[in-house]
Amino acid sequence: MLRVQNISTYYGQICALDNVSLKIEENEAVSVIGANGAGKSTLLKTIIGELRPKSGDILLNGQSIIHEKTFKLVSRGMTLVPEGRHVFPLLSVWDNLILGGYTLPAKERQQRAEEVTEPFPILRDRKNQLAGLLSGGEQQMLAIARAMMTAPKLLLLDEPSMGLSPKLVLEVYDKITELHMQGTTILLVDQNAEMAIDFCSRGYVLMAGRLAGAGTKEELKQSEIVQRSYLG
Amino acid sequence: MFFDQLINGIVLGSIYALMAIGYTMVWNVLRFINFAHGEVYMGGAFVSLYLLLLDTPIWLAYLGGVLAGALLGYLMEKAVYMRMRNAPKLNLLIAAIGISIFLQNLAQYIWGATPERLTSPFLYKNIQIGDMMINQHYIFIIILTILVMMVLELFMNRTIMGKAVQAASQNISATQLMGINANKVISVTFAIGSAVGALAGILVGPVFLVYPTMGIFAGLKGFTASVMGGMGNIPGAMVAGLLLGIIESFAAGFISSGYRDAVAMVILLFILLVRPQGIFGKIIQQKV
Ligand SMILES: Nc1ncnc2c1ncn2[C@@H]1O[C@H](COP(=O)(O)OP(=O)(O)OP(=O)(O)O)[C@@H](O)[C@H]1O
Ligand SMILES: [Mg+2]
């Protein structure tokens, strides 16, 4: 479904991604783990078109997307739930959802908002509240539900458990599992390496902008780098 | 006397409010002050004037001026500001001042510097309320301003595009993740803000006349009102514009008409010093 081929991404002179390749097949859940500053967010931003790679190519269903604008990629069935959630703080919870469905026909938005909030009853209870006044965990759920409005085929998740209490982390992962079961392909980045590895069938390890390893869930758990650096 | 000044103040304030909307809306999406907004106000008035010279029916001439203003704002953004998305804001500010001087000179070159009066179907008629005579054109200005505000309110809060404009003002990169073309949202914002600014110019044309530099002071007053209302706050800009007009009018009436502009600038300074977030402020809360 998605092929990342030898991409390198720079911030000015700083090389944040160096010759990184990976692939994701339909209905897979794939993790990317790595320390702070390893380049995980940069990778997701490059895939979604917020950053342009200096070299390499990214193929979505066989077509190169490195020149495609972010908003167009969204209508092609891919979206990103960014690190830090980025809900619209001065709009209501419901308006945040409706905007998530911007590319849908007007008639379908309300109906779809009802559907995506099915697993998140708290969002229904708070539908008229300003999104900026939700708790961190509630904002995370809103960000995920909002991204689901367009029923993306491929969902990129950046640190969905950041800043959440252990109980909320489990809850958020429950919801993501549900979405995955319903057929959403997922590329997941999380500080919480154990959760991320467990959730996904395969994963990649990034270190200082380079790919330092890859493998199935079991292989990653056994792998020495991962054991030493992330699982302790 | 008191009521005369009040009516004058409301009329003046309506114009300032309309102008302030343009500054505030553009600030919302680009975080800079479009100092060429006064020239959109002037341009709209001139185009209406020109259309009237061509014997266009008056309503069409007004409408043409408003549309020309929208187009001018749109082009300004597409041709200049859009190419400066990643430039420091100071560069944009200087570009805006450049555009403003260019447009003033262009207007002078095309239409000359002599002030001319725009026609209004109402200018020489009065309405009697109690023992007061109110110019019908003033009433026209007030009614149109109220109408514009209502339409704008509906647009911002009831349409998906209006919500996208609000979203863009809160987090422009996240709007792209919703599948929203941020450039389109910015264009729409410029076009609407400019249409409203041009309308203000057309509405004052019959009273204060039309000339190439007419936008300078109106721009400054609109800008003052947008700062008073809390930059980025649309209802704040409307209320502050009205307030500024009324205060000025009373200052002119009860102190001396020479102090009118000074009063506005003193208010601007005072607000910048004491309450830089504006009277109505703007809350930005984001949990990270
Ligand atoms: N806007 C930027 N300008 C310059 N350097 C940047 C910028 N954003 C990130 N970097 C650098 O690029 C590298 C990769 O950053 P990135 O945000 O991708 O890391 P990450 O793996 O997501 O880290 P974290 O786990 O802390 O979120 C870091 O060294 C960071 O300092
Ligand atoms: Mg990150």
CATH number at residue A219: 3.40.50.300
Calculate mean pLDDT across residues B92-98: 95
Distance of alpha carbon A229 from alpha carbon B171, whole angstroms = 35
**What spatial distance separates the first Cα and last Cα of chain A, rounded to whole Å?**
33
Of the candidates A49, A128, A123, the one whose C-alpha atom is nearest the C-alpha of residue A91 is A128
How many of the other CB atoms lie within 10 Å of CB of B143?
A: 11
- Of B156, B225, B151, which Cα lies nearest the Cα of B188? B156
CATH number for the domain running over B2-287? 1.10.3470
ipTM of the predicted structure?
0.91
Residue B43 Cα distances to A37, B106, B137, B189, B236, angstroms = 51, 10, 21, 18, 26
Residue B47 has pLDDT above 90, yes or no: yes
Quickly count: other Cβ atoms within 10 Å of residue A6's Cβ.
12
pLDDT of residue B268: 81
Band of the pLDDT at B288, cuts 50, 70, 90?
Answer: very low
Model confidence at A135: pLDDT above 60 = yes
pLDDT tens column, A13-32: 999 999 999 999 999 999 99
Give the Å distance between the CA of A40 and the centre of ligand 2. 5
pLDDT for the residue numbered B193: 96
The per-residue pLDDT for B282 is 62
Please check whether residue A27 is in contact with residue A144, taking contact to mean a CB–CB distance below 8 angstroms: no
Tokens 């409203």 belong to residue: B196
Q: Does B283 touch chain A (CB under 8 A)?
A: yes
Q: Which residues contact B18 (CB under 8 A, 6 or more apart)?
A: B145, B148, B196, B197, B199, B200, B203, B222, B241
What's chain A's length in residues?
Answer: 232
Q: What is the residue extent of each domain of chain B?
A: 2-287
- Give the residue on A whose Cα is nearest the Cα of B282: A90
Rounded to whole angstroms, the Cα distance separating A28 from A73 reads 19
> Taking the CB of residue B220, how many other CB atoms lie within 10 A of it?
18
Residues B184 and A71: beta-carbon distance below 8 Å: no
Are B170 and A90 within 8 A, CB to CB?
A: yes
Q: Taking the mean position of all CA atoms in its chain, how far away is CA B121?
A: 23
Number of domains within chain A: 1
pLDDT at residue B284 tops 60: no
pTM for the full model?
A: 0.89
Cα–ligand 2 centroid distance for B268 (angstroms):
42
Q: Which DSSP string corresponds to B235-262? A: HHHHHHHHHHHHHHHHHHHHT-GGGHHH
- Tell me which chain A residues have a C-beta less than 8 angstroms from the C-beta of B285: 89-90, 130, 132-133
Q: Is B236 left (phi over 0), alpha (psi -120 to 50) or beta?
A: alpha
Nearest-CA distance from B271 to chain A in Å? Answer: 24
Q: Do A70 and B177 touch (CB under 8 A)?
A: yes
pLDDT band at B17 (very low <50, low <70, confident <90, very high): very high
Residue with tokens 């114009």: B15
Contact (CB<8Å) B287/A79: no
CB B70, CB B191: distance < 8 Å = yes
Nearest CA to ligand 1 atom 4: A11
Distance from CA of B90 to the nearest CA of A (A): 21
Can you give the pLDDT at residue B8?
92
Alpha-carbon distance values, B246 to A36, B273, B275, B278 (Å): 57, 22, 20, 18
Report pLDDT digits (tens) over A191-223. Answer: 888 889 989 999 999 999 999 889 998 888 888
**H-helix or E-strand spanning residue A87:** none
- Ligand 1 site, CB within 6 A: A 11, 14, 16, 34, 36-42, 83, 191
| CA-closest candidate to residue A32, choices A208, A152, A189, A227 | A189
CA A24 to centroid of ligand 1, rounded, Å: 23
CA A5/CA A20 separation, integer angstroms: 7
CA-to-CA dists, residue A73 to A41, B170, B176, angstroms: 17, 22, 10
B224 neighbors B264 (Cβ within 8 angstroms): yes
Q: Where are the alpha helices (DSSP H) in chain A?
A: 40-47, 70-75, 93-100, 106-116, 121-125, 136-148, 166-181, 193-199, 217-222, 224-226
Domain that holds residue A69: 2-231
Q: Is B105 on the interface with A (CB under 8 A)?
A: no
Distance between Cα B267 and ligand 1 center (Å): 45
DSSP E strands, chain B: 126-129, 132-135
Inter-chain residue contact A69 with B176, CB threshold 8 Å: yes
